[in-house]
Structure 1
C-alpha cells in the first residue's frame, strides 16, 4: 500500500548527488529528499531524469537519522500552483492558539494554520501541544511556505508503547549506544540476542535495517536484524514458474522471490503504467534484482521488470555451496544446484577464460560468497536453467 511521507511541490530542479551517480536530491516543503535511479519506484509519469521544480509529488520513504527522506517511491500528481495539495509530518513547534479555535504552528520551515472547521483526528484542538508528532493535510499558499490545514492527525512514532508477540519495523538506526540500546523510527530496540543478516553486520547510526521480534512495553526485543542497505546481490532473467498472490511471492528458476511495498515493479513489455504484482502471470519473462536472504532461502525483490522473452536464461547471485571431488565439481548459487558439464565455459572476474581446474582451484578460484553469473544460452526452456553454458565470477 502506498502511504506517502510528504506531498508538495519540488522547490528546485533535482541535483546530482556528489558521491553517487545513481542519486539526485531535491526539497519538498523544506525537507530534503534523496532518490535513487535503481531503488526508487516512480509512478504517475514521474521519472528519475524527468522531475523538475514545481512538480507536485507524493514521496514515500524512510527518514534517516538526520531528517533526510530516502525515497522508495515517488508519484507525480500535478503541477504547482494549479495543484496546491500538500501533506507533511513532523513535530509541532511554536504553537499559538486563538480563543476562536484557530491557531498556527511550525513543522520545520512550514507555518501551518488551522481554523475552527479544521478536522482533528486522535486528538482535540484543545489537547494539541508543542512536541506532538502530527500529520497535516491541506492547501499550500502561493508563497509555498504556509499551509492551510484541512486535517490534523496525531501520529504514533514507531510501534507505540504496547506489547505484541510479533512485531516488525524497518527504518534507519538512531541513538545507537550498543546492540542492546538503539532506536528505529522512534522505537527503542534491544538486539542483544538477535541473529544478524548478513552475519557480522555491524550496527551504526544511519544504517537501514529491518527488525523483527516481540514488543514489550514499547521496546522491540529483536529476534533478527537484517541489513536493508546492502547492494543487490541477485539478478535473474527467466520466465515465471508460479505466482502466489496471497503471499506476494513468485517462483522463478526454483527460487522463491518475495515482494513488499518498496519493490519497484515496471512493465517494459506493454508499457502499462498501472502494472503491479497482481498482474504477473506464469510464463511472463521477468528481470529481477534483489537481495538474497539466507535465513529464509528467499530473495527480496528490489526491482521486478516484465519484458519481452529473451533467448538466454540467467541466474546471478552468491555462491552458497561448492565442492570438487572425483566425480567433478558441484556448485550452488542461492541454494540452486548449477547443471555443470564438460561443455561449460568458465570466466574469472576479469572476463578471462579459465579451465575448470583453474576456476575451482584453491587458491585463486571461486569461493563461497562470490557473486557468480550462470548463463543458459539459447535456452530450450525459459522457466528452467537446463544447461550452464557460461559460468563467470562477477567483478565486485
Structure 2
C-alpha cells in the first residue's frame, strides 16, 4: 500500500493519550518508534503483528514499575522500541500500560449472549466477540452482575464510549483496587462542584484532592472510595475522593522529528466530511489517501491501524491506513494436526485448518489435572488431541482461515451413555 495523509499533531496526541494502555498486521519499517496496540501474545511481547524482545525493556503499569507477567492478553500498551528489517520481530525499550477505567458494573441490559453494551461507571462499554474476558470466579462475561467490579482496557472517545479489548473482574479485597475512570470534563458547575464524564455525574464537593484548573474539555482522572449511586433512568452519581488532571489536561504527544508512529484506534462519528479516531476529528479533505483505501468502507466501531512519522513541523504524516480484522466465526474442537504456523481441528466428520500468526491472541485456560495455564503460551505448546476454541475470519484473497484467537481449554466431559 502507498497511502499518505497528514494528521494534525493533536490527532496523534489525542490518540495516544486517550487510548487505554494496560486491536492488524504491521508493515512498520525498521528503526526506532512508538507502537500503540493490543497485546496478543507472550514469550516476548506481541503487539500489532510484531514480536518484541523485552529483556532490556522497562515496564510500568499505572505508572508503577512492573513485570511482563503482569500484562494480559487484550491489554492496550504504548511500546517504544525498534522493528527489525524482517518487519515481524523487534526490541522493546519501554512498555507502559494503564486501564481505561476500574469500577462498578451499573447496567447489563444491553448485553445479549455475551456481546453488546454494558454500563460501567456511567460509561457505555461495547463488548464484542474479540473482547478478552478474564476472571478467577466467572466462566464468561454473561455471568457478570450489577455491582461487580471490573477493570477495562480498550479504545475510548473520552466522552463516555469505550470499545473493550479486555475486561478483568476484580474484588473489593484486592490490594490494588482503585475505583477510577478517565475522561473529558463536560457540564462543569463550579458552584455545585460537579461535572460529567459520559453518563456519570461527578460530585467533587467532598474530594480530598482536587487539582486546580478544571474546565470543560480538560482530561481528568477521578477516583472514589464510595459506591456509585443512581440508576439507568435518572443517571448515576459518583462522590469523588480525588480529581487529578491527566497529562496537563490536554492531549499532547511529544514525538521527536522523524519518529515512526504506529497505532490502533477506533473509528466513530462518521459524517460525509469527517470521522473520529479515538474521539479526535479527522477531516476527509485533509487526507491524501490513494485509491486502494476506500474511505467509504469506514463504519462506526471499526478498528484501524495508522502508520507514519513526526514531521519537522510537528505534524503526524500518515503513510498507511489499514483496517484491522474482526473475528467473524467461532469454533471449537480437538487438535488433529499442526505445523509451525497452522493448527487443524476436528469438526464432526471433517476438519478445519487455521493459520496462526503474530496477530493471533494466544490464551491458555487449560488447568485440568496437574496442569496450570501458561502465561508464555504459543502454538508450540499445543499438542495433538488437546481441545481448543478458535475465533477467525476468512481471508478474501487466499481464502485461508486466519485465527484471530486461539484458546486452549480443558476437554469437555463426555456425555453420559444412556442405557
TM-score normalised to structure 2 length: 0.53
- Tell me, yes or no, if the aligned pair for 1:55 and 1:79 is still in contact at 8 Å: no
Q: For 1:271 and 1:51, how far apart are their aligned partners in 2?
A: 27
Structure 1 or 2, whichever has the larger Rg, is 1
- Count of residues paired in the alignment: 284
- Which of 352, 357, 362 is the equivalent residue of 1:257? 357
Q: For 1:306 and 1:171, how far apart are their aligned partners in 2?
A: 28
In structure 2, what is the equivalent of residue 224 of structure 1? 321
CA deviation map 1:326-381 (0-9, x unaligned): xxxxxxxxxxxxxxxxxxxxxxxxxxxxxxxxxxxxxxxxxxxxxxxxxxxxxxxx
State the 1:51 CA deviation.
Answer: 0.5
Q: Give the secondary-structure state (helix, strand or coil) at the position aligned to 2:168.
A: strand
- Which of 37, 44, 52 is the equivalent residue of 2:145? 52
**Superposition map of 1:1-396 within 5 A:** 1=71, 2=75, 3-17=98-112, 23-36=115-128, 38-45=129-136, 46=138, 47-63=140-156, 67-78=160-171, 85-95=178-188, 104-108=194-198, 109-113=200-204, 118=209, 125-141=211-227, 143=229, 145-150=237-242, 152-155=244-247, 160=253, 162=255, 165-174=259-268, 176=270, 182-187=275-280, 191-193=287-289, 202-216=297-311, 217-229=314-326, 231=328, 237=335, 241=339, 251-252=341-342, 255-259=355-359, 263=361, 265-268=363-366, 270=368, 275=373, 278-280=376-378, 282-285=380-383, 286-291=388-393, 301-307=403-409
- Tell me, yes or no, if the aligned pair for 1:165 and 1:215 is still in contact at 8 Å: yes
TM-score normalised to structure 1 length: 0.55
Residues 307 and 90 from structure 1, CA distance in 2 versus in 1: closer, same or farther, beyond 3 angstroms? closer
Q: For 1:191 and 1:160, how far apart are their aligned partners in 2?
A: 21
Structure 1 unaligned spans of 5+: 243-250, 311-396
Q: Give the secondary-structure state (helix, strand or coil) at the position aligned to 2:297.
A: coil
State the 1:219 CA deviation.
Answer: 4.0
Q: For 1:40 and 1:292, how far apart are their aligned partners in 2?
A: 19
- Tell me, yes or no, if the aligned pair for 2:185 and 2:196 is still in contact at 8 Å: yes
Residues 23 and 170 from structure 1, CA distance in 2 versus in 1: closer, same or farther, beyond 3 angstroms? same
Q: For 2:301 and 2:169, how far apart are their aligned partners in 1?
A: 28
Q: Give the secondary-structure state (helix, strand or coil) at the position aligned to 2:376.
A: helix
Relative contact order, CA 8 A, sep 6+: which one is greater?
2
State the 1:68 CA deviation.
Answer: 3.1
Q: Give 1 or 2: higher helix fraction.
A: 2
Q: For 1:288 and 1:309, how far apart are their aligned partners in 2?
A: 14
RMSD: 4.7
Q: For 2:392 and 2:218, how far apart are their aligned partners in 1?
A: 38
Structure 2 unaligned spans of 5+: 1-70, 76-97, 231-236, 344-353, 413-419
